[in-house]
Structure 1
């Protein structure tokens, strides 16, 4: 009776597959007395192929013949033979690929610690993920899938519904929008740290863009279920992701309308905004000035945020940066323009921002040479390029000022700011910067000024070109809520002063025959001060 009872218990515990398969061994393999007793006489079905079953130790059964073999920890993303050829995309019109790509992904073994560390590095490089809790990032690194994509392969098709985010690890990914059958334009060129697939992921609808591998690409894929299961209850990632998707959708719509970045004739005018002291409201003035100029000239004005090491223009405008100038130092010259332009952020007020850096450690990657290359490209693209400069009088500041047609120096009625303005004006004069290219803007950030206007002019040894009155906490409150005061409340004292500043600047640098009036740049006598 004991022997029969044991057999009945074995049958109750008998799994749906032979125990040999569950242990990663061929079906019918005898693994011991228990297996022989519980599965004596079992044979695999005729014509059935053994299946692949993965264990923690990384064992795998022989797989179906002809199945592509994946590298350890890396999925193979291989187009099907019937997939249409995708041409290498360039800026402007391109021929749409024919056919629909299908990927064959082979299952790899469990990721090794070094591979998980590499995936963790990709997540930390992303602006959306690097603020997440370290435990969350480690879980995502284990759940994510590393995918290798050959050049010219479609990763996401326009109109396709997907449930995965793709983070670029290595290579270049091109985003294009098909505006008409056979006519499409490249609206972004993504590099390491960028994200694609967010449109369909957030909206659960068809993607508005296609993502194509510009060259051999390494991606990290995170599906919706893995992301939701990994996030903590207090995580802000999902709202940030939705805001980023909406922001990018608006930018792509604007770029589709513009259709060709190189459409402007002549060279744009560069305005650098500098302050010899922090806390003068320089970035607030720069953001509002660009928004005011862009209201009159949509898609023709851009703000370059070089206020290193803490550039906050995107933060003040409630924008989510995923790319920046600092990451373009190693970009080949043939791709520099499209990658640079695709790094620009778009605000609903028509404000456009090019972040200088995203993380603190990236500030050192921005060099004077890189700034010069960027400004040269932007001058062929935009009417006005406004540069928010850092306090340090280094290579970045000098490279921008050297290409500027006008410089605004923002100071407050404080003795330290006035002394710094006098010293900075002297240094710029020694370096050969014409005095008529330099204008002083007095910004009142407190209700009671420490120095009078006359005292400031005597200390700075220059007349004030413009004066911005104190407007309470309105500028700071607008920045907290991600609004642009010059657009949201055009009747405020601050907005009226910015409007006068923009009007005077435009009158000096008005466009004549497609060329900016550079020969009249920087004449303080033509700028009406605000009393």
Structure 2
């Protein structure tokens, strides 16, 4: 969860920072009196409450020499904390700020949207540095979990499951979850979350981002729930220039930086889906409560078993379940030959949440579908998995 601190003598600027942080970023803003000016980082950190400090905004109204000195000390002692300097920019100041370790320069007249973008970038840089400071030989440091949300056919609620899963996981690992839209032709994760991303997958697989994780993370979009999003290309024609090899490389990069990488894949078993499965630690299989969807999933699983491409973690989600479909959960399990892990009953709240762009787990809607989504999230919670399980599988009855 992001945490920001501001040192300024200008109440109006502090108000804009607070508005920017509350607009899209999780976390709160603390302020430190600028008179007398803090003698060093310890004085600031001693007053810190709640989440770890990620971004400190210095100015306006702060003497430039003191601001530069404070940034230099933070850069040496706490490089994981990003410093934003608020001052009228000149070429000489830009060079001085760069040498002192200032993350970005911000105009005192910057509007709320500009401040928000700067805070997002600085927060992302802080998270990257924290992970980078973990020693490479640390036994606790490991690749993130890549969770592919899959379906042989479209229209079964795959994106709904993906977005809610990512938001639920963010409560387990704040600011450490990225949702990737690999439905490269018709992906709608961005619209489903009411995001207007500046960059998409097309940018991420080309140029410097292909070889530099820091550049790649600059192409991610921050969602108010605290997840990062890599959106699908804007135009379906752009998918022709994205290969399976590029998809695999992006996933490997993200897995090295995030605890959870949730992938909303395209329907079927195309090149990009196969590349995703090769990197995945888990597959969440989504099917509807209709015969074509169930038979399609059985056929897909059969093919993947033949080529030995089924991820170790398997999670079957039955969506749109109701007792008027003419099928029972047992019928679905008998056809698939494997148990159904999570049942999502048909709910009026799901299409409503989709149209609003606010997933159920973000809005904390209370209904049976929300309960099912939370159960899916719990399958990836280390604390929940550590508890003894009395039953391996319990038959679900749809009311």
TM-score of the two chains, using structure 2 as the length reference: 0.67
Q: Which residue number in structure 2 is paired with residue 500 of structure 1? A: 375
| Equivalent position SS for 2:373 | helix
**Structure showing greater Rg:** 1
Q: Which residue number in structure 2 is paired with residue 339 of structure 1? A: 215
Q: Which residue number in structure 2 is paired with residue 489 of structure 1? A: 364
1:118-175 C-alpha deviation (Å, 9 max, x unpaired):
xxxxxxxxxxxxxxxxxxxxxxxxxxxxxxxxxxx99xx79xxxxxxxxxxxxxxxxx
1:27-50 C-alpha deviation (Å, 9 max, x unpaired):
xxxxxxxxxxxxxxxxxxxxxxxx
Show structure 2 runs of 5+ residues with no match.
1-78, 135-140
Change (3 A) 1:354 1:427: same
Q: Which residue number in structure 1 is paired with residue 51 of structure 2? A: none
Match of 1:404 among 280, 288, 291: 280
Change (3 A) 1:337 1:510: farther
State the Cα distance separating 1:489 from its structure 2 match.
Answer: 2.1
Q: Which residue number in structure 2 is paired with residue 182 of structure 1? A: 100
Are the equivalent residues in 2 in contact too, given 1:505–1:527 (CA < 8 A)?
no
Match of 1:351 among 221, 227, 247: 227
Show structure 1 runs of 5+ residues with no match.
1-90, 103-152, 159-177, 187-196, 209-241, 512-524
| Equivalent position SS for 2:380 | helix
Change (3 A) 1:343 1:334: closer
| Distance in 1 between residues matched to 2:182 and 2:393, nearest whole Å | 26
| Equivalent position SS for 2:214 | helix
Q: Which residue number in structure 2 is paired with residue 226 of structure 1? A: none
| Distance in 1 between residues matched to 2:144 and 2:309, nearest whole Å | 19
Q: Which residue number in structure 2 is paired with residue 478 of structure 1? A: 353
- The answer to whether the aligner puts 1:427 opposite 2:303 as a matched pair is yes
Are the equivalent residues in 1 in contact too, given 2:142–2:256 (CA < 8 A)?
yes
Are the equivalent residues in 1 in contact too, given 2:84–2:103 (CA < 8 A)?
no
| Equivalent position SS for 1:260 | helix
1:378-428 C-alpha deviation (Å, 9 max, x unpaired):
111111111111013112101111111111110011111011001100111
- The answer to whether the aligner puts 1:248 opposite 2:117 as a matched pair is yes
Give the paired residue count. Answer: 307
Alignment of 1:299-314 (within 5 A): 299-314=175-190
Change (3 A) 1:311 1:444: same
| Distance in 2 between residues matched to 1:392 and 1:444, nearest whole Å | 20
Are the equivalent residues in 2 in contact too, given 1:487–1:495 (CA < 8 A)?
no
Note the aligned Cα RMSD (angstroms).
Answer: 3.8
More helix by share: 2
Alignment of 1:172-251 (within 5 A): 182-185=100-103, 205-206=109-110, 248-249=117-118, 251=120
Higher relative contact order (CA 8 A, sep 6+): 2
Alignment of 1:3-42 (within 5 A): none
Q: Which residue number in structure 2 is paired with residue 270 of structure 1? A: 146
| Distance in 2 between residues matched to 1:393 and 1:284, nearest whole Å | 20
State the Cα distance separating 1:434 from its structure 2 match.
Answer: 4.4
